[in-house]
Amino acid sequence: MKLPIKRFSMLSLFSIAMFSCSSDDDAVTTTNTITKSAVIENYANIVYKSYQDAMDDAMDLETAISAFVTTPTDANFTAVKSAWKTARESYGPTEAYRFANGPIDDNDGPEGLLNAWPLDESYVDYVEGSPNSGIINDPTTFPTIDKTTLEGLNEVGGEENISVGYHAIEFLLWGQDNTAPSAQQAGQRPYTDFVDGGTAANQDRRRQYLAVCADLLTDHLQLMLDEWKIGGAYRATFLALNENTALNKILTAIATLSKSELAGERMYSAYSNPDTEDEHSCFSDNTHRDIRLNLEGIANVYKGSYGNIDGPSFEDLITQSNATLGAEVSAQLAAAETAVDATANPFDFAISDATERPKVLTAINALRDLGDKFIEGGTSIGLSVVVID
C-alpha cells in the first residue's frame, strides 16, 4: 500500500514545516486527497509505457528472427527462442488492459492477431502423424505467404485456426510438446526444419512464415501505441469519459482477468482436464511465466505503478474511502501473488503431478477471491463492477 506522504510535493512539505513553527491559532491541517482523475491519467501513462516496452522487445524478436531466417544456424535458433521469451515478459502484463472495451479487444482490435490461443498446430504446419498439414505445406492453396494472406487466414473456419501472433511464432520455434509432463521438457523442433535440405519439407516457406509473423506482431503493437500515445485517438476519448465510467472500465478489466480469464480460462480449464493443449504457452512450456506476468499486470494497475511510473492508484482511492477494506484488498493481492508463485513450473507438470496440483487450485481460488475483492473495493468508491464471463 502506498502511503499518502508519497504524494506530497516539496512545496507542501515546506509549508507543513513552516506551519509547525506557528502558534496553535495559525496551525492548519494539510490533507492529500487522491482524485479519480489523477488515477485515470496515471493508468493511461502506464498503459502506454507497457505497450512501448512490449513493442521494443517485439522489435528485438523481429531482428533475431531476421538474423535466423537469413542464417538458420543452431546458435541463431537458440537466440530467437530467447528473444521470444523476453518479448513475452513485457507483453504479459499488458493483458490487464483487456476486458475494458478498449482498443486492444474492441470490434476491430488486434488482440486476436496478437495473443489468441489455443492454436490448432495443424492449421499452420506439420504435426505428429500428419507431415503435410498446415498452410506452410500447402503451396497449391496458399502460393504466397505474406502479411495480407496470413492475417486474412486468422481464425478462418474456427477460433483455434490461429495463423499469426505470439503463439504461432512459438509453435514455429518449439513445435509440438509431445513429451510427458513429468519430463519437464518443451517442444523439440530442430532448427534444421528451417534449413534448405534439412528436416521437414518446405523449409523456405517456414522461414518466410516466421518472418511475416514477426512483422505482423510489431504492426499490431504499433496500433496500440498509436491509440494510447499523448494525443492518440483512444487516449483522448478515454480521458474525456465520465470519471466513474473510466474507472469502472479499468477495474472491470483487472477483476475479469483475475477471476474469469486467468483463474478460469487460463488455469482451471487446463487443471480440470488436465490437458496440456489448454495451456497458454504449451509449446515452449512458458505458461508459468504467462500466469505470473498477467498477475503482475493486475498488480501494476491496482497499485498505479509500472517501471519508473508510480502515481495515484485504485489502492489509494479504496484505502482513502475505507482503510479497512483497502487493507483487505491489498492483502488478497499479496495472497494471490504468494499462491501463484508457489505453483510449480512448467505448468503442464504442475497440473499433472499429484503433489503439485493442490497448489494450482489454491492459486486459482486466490485469484477468484481477488476478483471478488476488486468488486467490493469498487463499490466503496461508487463503481458497479461486473466480471465478464
Q: Which candidate, 235, 320, 319, 244, places its Cα nearest to that of 36?
A: 244
- Dump pLDDT digits (tens) for 342-357: 999 999 999 999 999 9
Per the DSSP assignment, residues forming a β-bridge with 310 are: 305
Q: pLDDT at position 244, please?
A: 98
The mean per-residue pLDDT over the stretch 354-380 comes to 98
Is residue 389's pLDDT more than 70? yes
Q: Which three cell numbers stand for residue 95?
A: 493483458
User: What is the residue-averaged pLDDT of the chain?
Assistant: 92
Please report whether residue 28 resides in a domain. no
- Dump pLDDT digits (tens) for 300-324: 999 999 999 999 999 999 999 999 9
Q: pLDDT at position 31, please?
A: 52
CA distances from 27 to 31, 161, 200, 298 (A): 13, 69, 81, 41
- Could you give the CA distance from residue 6 to residue 241 in angstroms, rounded to a whole number? 27
- Total domains in the chain come to 1
Please report whether residue 24 resides in a domain. no
Please report whether residue 18 resides in a domain. no
Please report whether residue 91 resides in a domain. yes
Least confident of 6-20, 278-292, 343-357: 6-20
Please report whether residue 179 resides in a domain. yes
Give the rounded distance of the alpha carbon of 155 from its chain centre: 20
| CATH number of the domain that residue 229 is part of | 1.20.1420.20
Is residue 27's pLDDT more than 60? no
Please report whether residue 5 resides in a domain. no
Domain boundaries, position 335: 36-380
Please report whether residue 181 resides in a domain. yes
**pTM, 2 dp:** 0.91
Please report whether residue 225 resides in a domain. yes
